[in-house]
Amino acid sequence: MSPAVRAAARRAAEWADRVHANRVQAERVRETESGDHYAPVSNLFVADPRRTGEPALDALVAMTRPEDAWLDIGAGAGRYALPLALRVREVVAVEPSGGMRRALRAGIDEHGIANVRVVPGTWPESLHELDPLPAVDVALIAHVGYDIEAIGPFLDAMEAATRDRCVAVMTDRSPASVADPFWPLVHQEARVPLPALPELVGLLRARGRRPRVEHVDRSPRTFDSVPALTSFLRRQLFIAEDGEKDVHFRAILPEHIVRRGGGWTLAERPAGSLGVVTWSVRAT
């Protein structure tokens, strides 16, 4: 095994170890049933496909060409799939969550967007649903991959699916980390962090890629109401509503949240940045 291959394998193993430790910790403290984690909150991921002024979306739009086809892996409710579809020939949207797919199809219908193909399933297992595999020019993951343990095969399939380039939109700390300050207060232990943007860039370089990173402004997530924010954080803490830990959590929550910009958010703004990573598959 060459030094380069060993370096890539080591990076992938470190990634897997972090994801595994994060998952084991969650299962150990979990008070709720596992299932479609996103079904109750799919509405939080719905966005106007014709919106403007979102830096990450602007960076993606700048890459589009009318003749291109994009593959959006983990497309969710279509936050990026739908605006991209307005600008390219086709978007293939792969999404495992039934709740998210329902929200995505509702957005397709509401906005009259006819060039999005919705594919159920996880990646890369859903590849059998894409037989024959469509010729796509760009493969995208947006806030996807943080919790993928087998990241090597995931990226292998992503790169194999496109004839031009791959794009990843990631923060340098996973989105779920907004709840991390509450873990010591609720569970008496720190949250095991997931790999994120820095680890992805390091892994890609170890794999022989030459990723280009564009850092863009990141706005803190806001919620329409305190109950909506409470529900979101409760899910990240894996605690049951009205349980002993939840009673304590709701008692301390008011001192940690504020009303800002027309919505409710955490008083302490999330640290870190948002990056749009691009790498070519033609040079590999």
- Of the listed ranges 7-11, 34-38, 68-72, the one predicted with least confidence: 34-38
Instruction: Return the half-sphere exposure (C-beta side, CA atoms, 13 A cut-off) of residue 45.
Output: 27
pTM above 0.75, yes or no: yes
| pLDDT tens-digit readout, 142-189 | 999 999 999 999 999 999 999 999 999 999 999 889 999 999 999 999
C-beta separation of 28 from 188 below 8 A: no
Site of tokens 């001192």: 255
| pLDDT tens-digit readout, 65-115 | 999 999 999 999 999 999 999 999 999 999 999 999 999 999 999 999 999
Specify the DSSP class assigned to residue 154: H
Across 187-261, the runs of DSSP E, i.e. the strands, are 212-216, 257-260
Q: Is the pLDDT of residue 131 over 80?
A: no
pLDDT of residue 31: 94
